[in-house]
Amino acid sequence: MAAVDYLVIARKYRPQTFTEVAGQEVVARTLTNAIRSHRVHHAYMFTGPRGVGKTSMARILAKALCCESGPTTEPCGVCEHCKRIADSSHPDVTEVDAARFGNKEDITRLLEDVSFAPQMARVRVFILDEVHMLTGHSWNALLKVLEEPPPHMRFVFATTEVEKVLPTVLSRCQRFDFRSLDLPTIVTRLKDIAGKEGGQLSEPVLYRVARAAGGGMRDAQTLLDQLIAVSDGQASEDDLDLLLGAARGEDLRELLGHALTGASAQALTRLDACCESGAAAATVLDQLIEHLRGVMLLQACGADAPAVKRLGLPIDKLQEFANKATPEKVLRACQVLTGTQGQIRHGADPRLALEMATVRIARLGEVQDLERLVQRIERAEAGAGPR
Ligand SMILES: Nc1ncnc2c1ncn2[C@@H]1O[C@H](COP(=O)(O)OP(=O)(O)OP(=O)(O)O)[C@@H](O)[C@H]1O
Ligand SMILES: [Mg+2]
Ligand SMILES: [Zn+2]
């Protein structure tokens, strides 16, 4: 796939209608109700994490208000207004990044500009992104306009850090909190896009992409782009591992297998190979925990549990571990590794900490034997009665 295509995918699949915005149904419903009942507010505040649809929704609202057949909950997408809003060239829809305004003049002039009557649409829409970046002067200029908004003006503010927005500004806006997106929502969208882009990705790989994106659709789509590009469309678990700077799944499972069967030398050799191939020790640790978590959930809830599926790991491989190691051992190994995460957070050397954890897991069998021995001695002593 050409590099140019690869860069534009996240934009290419920007939702164009209210129903296309995945996972933000509450916001979409409230906005469409407002449009239907002619109660559109003059100022909205869209808050939420990065890449979950705030700017997209702001543009859709602008289209809904400006569309030739509008105000409408279903902007046509083909009229002059809709087309120009989609490619950011509509004279009455201004979209700016608040980080640009260092001094008072800038935004004051802009706000004066936008308060003129619209040129071609019914209303003017002013979309101000990252509004928390405004400086003191700019806030005042903005507040003044918000106190007496010109009747033809609609404001949409967007921010990822709403706690930095002045309460006086907040109180003049209707606020919408955009949610971070859940895995199935992201996977469904990715599947759709991958299909259109001619990429073949298995469901587990898509789940891992979605998980790596941490609930953000843009990040998920960007990862998908890269994955399709590096793999010529047929992305495998290995491609994703490489892209995420993670150890190869197969190597990792060998490491885990050796550790769980007490073969510390082989486990350490595998660990060395994982790290030498470029994976950071902390990442390997995360992967190990992820795998053990999968095994634990599988042992507890069965292979069909949604929680297992959502991990995006090969279930047949998890099942092999589940058959070999007892749930107690898996649990203890998990504890060892999460403890190691804590140590690293407190400054321990990640590689050394992980090596120690590997040896400790390999010796879990011995420890359990020892514990059993102690219990037997204790029982024997109790049986012998007090001296
Ligand atoms: N809810 C969603 N449904 C479908 N696609 C989405 C959604 N959210 C984001 N996207 C995709 O991610 C891209 C970026 O989305 P958008 O610009 O709306 O995010 P944002 O919330 O404004 O992010 P930021 O806070 O970084 O500005 C879009 O072009 C689209 O491809
Ligand atoms: Mg945005
Ligand atoms: Zn239209």
State pLDDT tens for residues 132-142.
Answer: 998 888 888 88
* Residue 112: pLDDT band with limits 50, 70, 90: confident
Pocket flag, ligand 1, residue 319 (CB < 6 Å): no
Task: Give the pairing of strands 43-47 and 93-97.
Answer: unpaired
Q: Which ligand is nearest to the CA of 48?
A: 1
Question: What is the Cα–Cα distance from 292 to 296, expressed in whole angstroms?
Answer: 6
**327 CB neighbour count, 10 Å cutoff:** 12
Atom of ligand 1 nearest to the CA of 52: 8
Report the residue among 9, 218, 219, 224 best suited for mutation to probe ligand 1: largest number of ligand atoms under 8 A from its CB: 218
205 close to ligand 1 (CB < 6 Angstrom): no
Tracing tokens 């700017």 back to the chain, one arrives at: 55
SS3 373: helix
C-alpha of residue 52 to centroid of ligand 1, in Å:
5
Q: Distance between the two ends of the chain, CA-based, in angstroms?
A: 82
Report the residue among 9, 17, 31, 56 best suited for mutation to probe ligand 1: largest number of ligand atoms under 8 A from its CB. 56
The predicted-structure confidence for 91-111, as pLDDT tens digits, reads as follows 999 999 988 776 656 788 888
Decide: 133 in ligand 1 pocket, CB within 6 A. no
Q: How confident is the model at residue 385, as a pLDDT?
A: 61
What are the angstrom distances between the C-alpha of 135 and each of 55, 106, 107?
Answer: 21, 11, 10
Give the DSSP letter string of 267-308.
HHHHHHHHHHTT--HHHHHHHHHHHHHHHHHHHHH-TT-HHH
Domains and CATH numbers, the chain: 24-177 (3.40.50.300), 183-243 (1.10.8), 249-370 (1.20.272.10)
Residues facing 274 on adjacent strands: none
Q: Which of 16-25, 226-235, 338-347 has the lowest mean pLDDT?
A: 226-235
DSSP 78: S
Can you give the pTM of this predicted structure? 0.84
- What pLDDT is recorded for position 11? 84
Q: Please report which ligand is nearest the Cα atom of 79.
A: 3
Q: How many CB atoms lie within 10 A of CB 359?
A: 15
- Angle, alpha carbons 362-365-369 (nearest 5°): 150
Distance of alpha carbon 157 from alpha carbon 143, whole angstroms: 13
Q: How far apart are CA 123 and CA 112, in angstroms?
A: 15
CA distances from 147 to 144, 151, 281 (A): 5, 12, 54
Pocket of ligand 1 contains residue 10 by CB under 6 Å: yes
Q: What is the pLDDT of residue 4?
A: 47
Ligand 2 centroid to Cα of residue 160, in Å, is: 9
- Please provide the size of the chain in residues: 387
The pLDDT tens digits for 286-343 are: 999 999 999 999 999 999 999 998 888 999 999 999 999 999 999 999 999 999 999 9
Question: Of 6-10, 112-116, 207-211, where does mean pLDDT reach its minimum?
Answer: 6-10
Q: Is 14 in the pocket of ligand 1 (CB under 6 A)?
A: yes
Looking at residue 6, its pLDDT comes to: 45
Q: Rounded to whole angstroms, how far apart are CA atoms 266 and 278?
A: 19
H-helix or E-strand spanning residue 158: strand 153-159
> Which pLDDT value is given to residue 105?
64
